[in-house]
Chain A
């Protein structure tokens, strides 16, 4: 049967499928963080936002029966957490990195607390579109069962790229990120711009979380996200704050994250945990290669606290 005949091809196929499936949360979180960081603020709390988004999406989907309402709820939850982050950061002398760490712990704790009753029940999941109908091979079909959220994310990357370059809002965000004084001189409130940018970032990160609980892996439990949020934040740095590069980096990450399960499915079980750590090792390796102590990174917003 098809199962046996494709043999070791299972691995690259599963990695391809994984790149599409697993990359979606990376993509949404990194695009969200991209907006926030372009406005000159870093939100490390998106790990907590991701988990809160996953929990609220699952809860709302279970209560209302509509997974799309769940996605919306996840986005709103994320935006609220973003507003909280921006609100605290707008106080004088408050460090945005530390607030992010606090919200990472707070969001995760709150999601575990509120999500306790959601571990048992099964919520309706998001539908997938079959792009693999032309093939007889089940693995190909499985790899090409693509979720609409992935397509939205892929479309969002060039839209953001365009918006940063040409729209009024994109210009305002970049001004706030490059020189707060210039934005102020133009008569705009930097805090307000950053509030909106952080809320938009949180909204996208929340949606990324909804993908985790409503599509893949597709259930709610406390081990759902282990560091995907923070990996995505690191990904923005070596994507040079460019939404299009975020897309490619997310795909590479999804592929790396799918390597462990793919090898396990063909019987390579030793080193399973090490392969699962592949995205983190990859992040660290790329950061080591691309960063330099001598110059600030090209493309880095000048107001960003971690690059100054």
Chain B
């Protein structure tokens, strides 16, 4: 991940200025969007290196194992991509409402409800052809997660309840519902130590992309991200959403149905996170239990902010963050760092990325000399 940032610096430093003096003026904005988050990432990695050095570990070892565990081998690449899949989807849960100026941080809750709905659908349709079961699981996951976040959007629009707080409260409520059902109504009597629902059945699992161990959830994520990008930047609906996000009063004056916009966008956002829950059930866990609350929803918030809420940028950022979490196991085994070190690094990156917001438009050589 250090290399990526270094590449972008090279691109700016060597290629751009000599070839065409107007280049920076025209592309300064785009370069900023790569350069500033990249610099924030490098800064965060440096601080994290100092942090582990205080515990007597060699930071260079740290960087090497992080790279090796994330992108060093084909095996680690597959591990990284498998983790990136739900991150793309949960990041959309924050990035889509952000177009409307809303800060939704409840992706984890929508993921859990999506997983629960998808599992219920699969268990209800046992014996049907796998394709029908899988399609039903996708629909159930999207609708379950979508309604969950739509609730937060509706509360904000009709009752003025702050959506950031309500969506986070809904995470804890979702977790309670999941635990309640998994330990009661939906419990598989055979699951003793770890209460779980019954398995959805091996035939109904969505399996891996041929030739890899990466499951089809990655493709779901890529499609969802690209579709979101087209929706936001190349359709009238997306334009209306961005108008409402920029100036809600103007949107109302020109007659946009702001209520409908907010509810639809929140439904799509929650649907993406619900799909992540479905993928985790149908490709990884095979059933619903408390393991699903693995924090993908919270890391997704970071992915969305690091990608500056741009659905296309979410894809590489999710792979990067998936890589960091994939390398966690190796850091634990080789360096003896606790598993929470990934959380610390994510926190530091988040802080640096937000602080770097202050830099936009202030980097001298990108402003051009005029």
Contact with B along A273-306 (1 / 0, CB 8 A): 1101100110110011001111000000000001
**A91 vs B162: C-alpha distance when bound (angstroms):** 24
B161:A227 contact, CB within 8 angstroms: no
Beyond A44-B164, A284-B170, is A273–B357 a contact (Cβ under 8 Å)? Answer: no
**A272 vs B342: C-alpha distance when bound (angstroms):** 32
A110:B347 contact, CB within 8 angstroms: yes
**A237 vs B345: C-alpha distance when bound (angstroms):** 32
Complex contacts, A116 vs chain B, CB 8 Å: 338, 340
A230:B168 contact, CB within 8 angstroms: yes
Which of A98-106, A183-191, A192-200 is the interface stretch?
Answer: A98-106
Complex contacts, A233 vs chain B, CB 8 Å: 165
Beyond A271-B180, A287-B165, is A101–B170 a contact (Cβ under 8 Å)? Answer: no
Contact with B along A216-253 (1 / 0, CB 8 A): 00000000001100110110010000000000000000
Q: How many residues of A contact B (CB 8 A)?
A: 48
**A98 vs B341: C-alpha distance when bound (angstroms):** 21
Instruction: Name the contact of B169 in the complex, choosing from A107, A110, A230, A273 (C-beta under 8 A).
Output: A230
Complex contacts, A237 vs chain B, CB 8 Å: 162, 165
Contact with A along B142-184 (1 / 0, CB 8 A): 0000000000000111111110111011111101110110011
Would you call B354 an interface residue if the criterion is a C-beta within 8 Å of the partner chain's C-beta atoms?
yes
B351:A99 contact, CB within 8 angstroms: yes
Complex contacts, B117 vs chain A, CB 8 Å: none
Complex contacts, B179 vs chain A, CB 8 Å: 273
Would you call A267 an interface residue if the criterion is a C-beta within 8 Å of the partner chain's C-beta atoms?
no
Q: How many residues of B contact A (CB 8 A)?
A: 48
A88:B355 contact, CB within 8 angstroms: yes
Would you call A131 an interface residue if the criterion is a C-beta within 8 Å of the partner chain's C-beta atoms?
no
Instruction: Name the contact of A280 in the complex, choosing from B103, B172, B344 (C-beta under 8 A).
Output: B172
Q: Can you list 21 A-B contacts (CB < 8 A)?
A: A44-B164, A93-B360, A97-B103, A98-B354, A102-B350, A105-B302, A106-B344, A106-B347, A107-B347, A113-B341, A116-B338, A227-B169, A270-B184, A277-B173, A277-B175, A277-B176, A277-B177, A288-B159, A291-B159, A293-B156, A293-B159
Question: Which 7 pairs, one residue from A and one from B, show the smallest C-beta to C-beta distance?
Answer: A106-B347, A109-B343, A277-B176, A112-B340, A102-B350, A91-B358, A293-B160
